């Protein structure tokens, strides 16, 4: 019998209601353009630090133990700008970015990468680009309109959040979309 697998990732959750409502408003405006988009549910909006994929229960215990070694102070991060990966002409993912606080997020990311590399997780090949996925693009329908809309948001501030914890999350896939639950919360430490 095979071991149970837990689909998991490490993230910073967005819990500031004002910032969330601005992002949800932008998602509604994007959908109104008529594009073929799958928006992220408001309660699932987060900044992924590392996607782990399916992890066995014993290995997940090692991940939790390792992540408890994370150390970072609480800080503010401005959520600003919007765009698409890989770019506006070939959109797969629509995102909002991190402006102020970018380097602190990157420092946490580097710690997560190092801690999990020692457990055998591969390092990410691409350069880290802190972002919050707000929608996935299913087809090119209305691509030009969406790209134009996103360009107008390139300097838009959605507000500032306080980053005072990192979370290990479980993702359970269902026909109605993923459901996330927190497996571990690592709080910031005072300076």
Q: Which residues are catalytic?
A: 46, 131
Determine contact, residues 94/150, Cβ cutoff 8 Å: yes
Q: Which helix (H) or strand (E) holds 34?
A: none
DSSP conformation class of 126: S
Instruction: Give Cβ neighbours of residue 94 (< 8 Å, ≥ 6 apart).
Output: 30, 37, 82, 83, 84, 133, 134, 135, 136, 137, 146, 150
Distance from chain centroid for Cα 127: 15
- Give 49's Cβ-side CA count (13 Å radius): 26
Backbone angles phi, psi at 145, to 5 degrees: -65, -40
- Give the alpha-carbon dihedral of 10, 125, 177, 60, to 10 degrees: -40
């Amino acid at each position: 019998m095979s071991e149970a697998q837990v689909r998991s990732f490490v993230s910073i959750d967005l819990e500031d209601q004002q910032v969330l409502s601005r992002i949800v408003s932008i998602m509604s405006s994007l959908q109104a353009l008529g594009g073929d988009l799958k928006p992220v549910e408001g309660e699932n909006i987060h900044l992924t630090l590392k996607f782990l994929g399916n992890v066995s229960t014993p290995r997940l215990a090692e991940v939790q133990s390792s992540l408890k070694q994370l150390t970072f102070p609480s800080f503010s991060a401005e959520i600003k700008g919007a765009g698409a990966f890989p770019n506006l002409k070939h959109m797969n993912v629509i995102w909002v970015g991190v402006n102020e606080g970018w380097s602190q997020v990157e420092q946490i990311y580097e710690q997560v990468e190092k801690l999990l590399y020692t457990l055998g997780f591969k390092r990410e090949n691409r350069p880290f680009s802190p972002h919050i996925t707000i929608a996935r693009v299913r087809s090119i329908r209305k691509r030009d309109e969406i790209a134009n809309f996103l360009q107008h948001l390139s300097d838009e501030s959605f507000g500032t959040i306080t980053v005072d914890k990192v979370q290990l999350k479980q993702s359970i896939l269902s026909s109605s979309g993923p459901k996330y639950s927190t497996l571990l919360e690592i709080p910031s430490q005072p300076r």
